[in-house]
Every structure is written in structure tokens, then in C-alpha cells.
């Protein structure tokens, strides 16, 4: 199970706090240097990669679709000279797909990419502009069509809800419903929907500090989340994780494996890895492109730091990650004290017991953080 981080974006979205570099005119040159170094990291960590089970590859970012096709082809060649991935996902932005056209999408397909995750976020042009996205709603639809024409039959769309007033406009429930309707009209196999949060180091954080933006209240966010759950349920989607919905059988294999603590290898700047060598180890790569390139030059030691995870930490993460999914957790993993808490949560309906597993019912997913915090 491999994650590759591509640290480039063509512009920075208002709400985003992820580290990435601005992909300017020299993007092709910089990205080639990046892929060259990435391949050195792959070579240096080949034993770790070979021993990581679960045959999935996820190229995320940043914006991987800023990369030219030959960069993808180099990454694929370095990683997996023979064979196919069970699931090979690439994150794309609609503007790249529209600008580069069907040939680019078909090129990704021919490299073995069999799942696309596209950041759409909204189908309201005013909101997209405020978010500093580089595409319109119509371009998102056009990108989706191009991906379908290129043969992609597994496409995920990201949406954002729970937005406060922006540019003097209210993010109304009707606007949110309209975005859901336009997303559903495309019939994507998968939808991920996130409540807007104010991330450290984002442009949004500065707007909040200057009093130019305030977050939507909980009541509105809960209403919009309920609307999302209802509309997607009616459309036949399986709500398998708090923020994730899939048509049956189209649940994301790679992300689902993270939630089950399957070990993974993270490559590229800032990528995290999880290993199990008798004990659990989490490590992370240097998080700026400059440090990553430099570290790799010096003996390809890209891992900046790491920590050993205690049994207790892993246990708490098992509870937290498991309860975010509709598979829940086995009661057998709970300690005596946790079982007593679970009994109380079962009695008041915050948890349900079904098929021998404890889970949060969908109508309480919105307050899952507080339910989970009682147990873990
Ligand atoms: S949301 Fe995605 S495209 Fe926008 S700045 Fe963040 S990583 Fe880049």
C-alpha cells in the first residue's frame, strides 16, 4: 500500500492548509527534478515497498494533475515494473483535465490508473471563485465527461459543506442541495464530503483573524450533513465512513485500509509511513520540497523523524478509526472500563450493536467526535 505525495498546486485554495509549492512556468522542469529524486527514494526503500502488503497506489497532493504524463509514467515504472495495482488512484483538479484534454486522461488510464479522485468542492461559481479554485462548475462537469470518455469507471468527487457567509452571500441550504444534485447528475461512483474547517496557515485563517469570515453554526452544518446523508442514501450510496459514500462495491480500498491500520509506505515530501516490525512505527518525510530534495541527495535519507506507537496508542486509534466507519469495532477489543462506557452509549443510542459489532448510527455520525472522545 503506497502513497506518493506530489507537492505542487497551480494556486492555493482559500481553505487549504496543506503544504505545497506553487507550480509556476517552470513546473515541468521542477516536477522532473522531483520525480527523479522520488525514484531515488523508491530505490532506497525498495525492501520496505516490496514487503508492504495490499496492492494499492494513491498519488495525492497537492495537485498531481499538474504533472505531465511522462512524470506519471516514470513514477509507475520506478514503483512497479511489472503487474497491476488492485486500485490505483490519482487526485486531479478539473482545470487540469479540461486544459490538457481527453488525451491526458486517456494517458493516465493507459498507465494503469483505475480510479480518479477529483476535487470539485462546489457547483456554485461564486463560491468556487471565493475558494480560489481555478475551475467553474461547468468545467468540473466537462472534466468528468472527459474522464468518462477516457474509460474511467471509478470516479470520486469531493464536496465541501457548512460554509459561513462569503463575499456578502449566504451559503444557503438550497445552494448545498444544488451542488449535491449536480454531483449526483454525473453519477460518480464515490463522493467524499467535508465540513469546512479553518486550517492553520490557510488564507481562511487570516480572513477569520481580520473578522472577514465567520464559520457556519453547528445547527446549519448538521442540517446540511443530514441533507447530504438523505440525498445520497436515496440515490443508492453506501455511507461507509463519516465523510465517504460509495455505490455498492466502490468503497475506496486504499483509504479503507488506512482505517484498518494496514501498514503503508509514504513517498515524497511530508508523506507519512506506518510499519510493523514487531512494534508499530510511524515516520514522516521532510516536509518541504527543498529539504526533501536535499535530504535525498545526502544518501537518500528522506525520513525526517518518527515515533514508536505504543499498544495503548494503537488501541485508541483502532477505536477512533473504527468508529468513523459503518463497520464499527468489535466489543472484544474494549477494556473493562471502555465496555462500561460503551454500555452507557448503547443505552442512550449513541452506539448500536449489530452483527456482533459496535458502531455509531448514521443519524449520530455528525456528533461522532464527542461520542468517540468518551471512549478513546
Ligand atoms: S485544496 Fe488541493 S488544490 Fe487547493 S491548495 Fe490545497 S492541495 Fe492545492
Ligand 1 site-directed mutation target among 14, 119, 202, most atoms within 8 Å of CB: 119
The upper half-sphere exposure of residue 310, i.e. CA atoms within 13 Å in the direction of its Cβ, equals 3
Q: Which of 277-281, 290-294, 340-344 has the lowest mean pLDDT?
A: 290-294
Average pLDDT over residues 283-300: 78
**Residue-level pLDDT at 298:** 66
Question: Do 75 and 4 form a contact (C-beta atoms < 8 A)?
Answer: yes
Å from CA of 5 to ligand 1 middle:
12
What are the tens digits of pLDDT across the range 36-74?
A: 989 999 988 888 888 877 699 999 999 999 999 999 999
Å from CA of 216 to ligand 1 middle:
21
Å from CA of 203 to ligand 1 middle:
12
Cβ atoms < 10 Å from Cβ of 335: 10
CA 33 → CA 186, 193, 216, 334, distances in Å? 37, 34, 42, 48
Grid coordinates of 48: 520496505
- For residue 28, the SS3 value is helix
Confidence of residue 244 (pLDDT cuts 50, 70, 90): very high
The residue ranges of every structural domain in the chain are 2-258, 328-375
- Is residue 176 predicted with pLDDT exceeding 60? yes
Closest ligand 1 atom to the C-alpha of 17? 6
Cβ atoms < 10 Å from Cβ of 38: 27
* CATH architecture of the domain formed by 2-258: Alpha-Beta Horseshoe (3.80)
Question: Do 278 and 308 form a contact (C-beta atoms < 8 A)?
Answer: no
Q: Which of 97-111, 121-135, 293-307, 309-323 has the lowest mean pLDDT?
A: 293-307
**Residue-level pLDDT at 288:** 83
Confidence of residue 81 (pLDDT cuts 50, 70, 90): low
Integer distance in angstroms from the first to the last C-alpha of the chain? 27
Instruction: Give the CA dihedral 235, 238, 244, 247, nearest 10 degrees.
Output: -70
Amino acid at each position: 500500500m503506497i502513497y506518493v505525495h506530489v507537492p505542487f498546486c497551480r494556486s492555493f485554495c482559500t481553505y487549504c492548509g496543506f503544504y505545497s509549492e506553487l507550480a509556476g512556468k517552470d513546473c515541468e522542469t521542477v516536477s522532473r527534478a522531483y520525480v527523479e529524486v522520488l525514484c531515488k527514494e523508491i530505490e532506497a526503500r525498495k525492501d520496505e515497498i516490496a514487503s508492504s502488503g495490499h496492492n494499492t497506489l494513491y498519488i495525492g497532493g497537492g495537485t498531481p494533475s499538474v504533472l505531465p504524463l511522462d512524470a506519471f509514467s516514470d513514477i509507475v515504472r520506478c514503483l512497479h515494473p511489472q503487474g497491476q495495482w488492485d486500485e490505483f488512484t490519482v487526485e486531479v483538479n478539473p482545470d487540469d483535465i479540461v486544459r490538457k484534454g481527453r488525451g491526458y486522461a486517456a494517458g493516465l488510464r493507459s498507465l494503469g490508473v483505475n480510479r480518479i479522485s477529483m476535487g470539485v468542492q462546489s457547483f456554485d461559481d461564486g463560491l468556487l471563485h471565493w475558494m480560489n479554485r481555478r475551475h467553474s462548475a461547468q468545467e468540473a462537469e466537462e472534466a468528468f465527461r472527459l474522464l468518462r470518455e477516457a474509460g474511467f469507471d471509478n470516479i470520486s468527487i469531493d464536496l465541501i459543506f457548512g460554509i459561513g457567509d462569503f463575499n456578502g452571500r449566504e451559503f444557503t441550504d438550497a445552494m448545498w442541495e444544488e451542488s449535491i444534485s449536480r454531483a449526483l447528475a454525473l453519477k460518480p461512483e464515490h463522493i467524499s464530503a467535508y465540513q469546512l474547517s479553518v486550517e492553520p496557515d490557510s488564507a481562511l485563517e487570516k480572513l477569520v483573524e481580520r473578522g472577514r469570515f465567520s464559520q457556519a453554526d453547528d445547527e446549519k452544518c448538521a442540517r446540511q450533513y443530514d441533507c447530504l446523508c438523505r440525498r445520497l442514501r436515496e440515490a443508492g450510496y453506501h455511507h461507509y465512513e463519516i465523510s465517504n459514500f460509495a455505490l455498492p462495491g466502490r468503497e475506496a480500498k486504499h483509504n479503507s485500509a488506512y482505517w484498518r491500520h494496514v501498514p503503508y509506505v509514504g513517498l515524497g515530501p511530508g508523506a507519512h509511513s506506518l510499519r510493523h516490525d514487531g512494534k508499530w512505527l510511524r515516520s514522516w518525510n521532510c516536509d518541504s520540497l527543498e529539504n526533501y530534495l536535499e535530504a535525498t541527495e545526502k544518501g537518500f535519507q528522506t525520513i525526517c523523524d518518527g515515533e514508536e506507537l505504543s499498544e495503548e496508542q494503537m488501541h485508541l486509534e483502532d477505536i477512533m478509526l473504527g468508529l468513523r466507519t459503518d463497520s464499527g469495532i468489535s466489543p472484544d477489543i474494549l477494556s473493562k472500563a471502555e465496555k462500561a462506557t460503551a454500555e452507557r452509549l448503547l443505552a442512550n443510542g449513541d452506539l448500536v450493536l449489530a452483527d456482533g459489532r459496535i458502531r455509531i448510527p448514521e443519524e449520530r455520525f455528525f456528533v461522532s467526535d464527542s461520542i468517540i472522545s468518551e471512549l478513546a
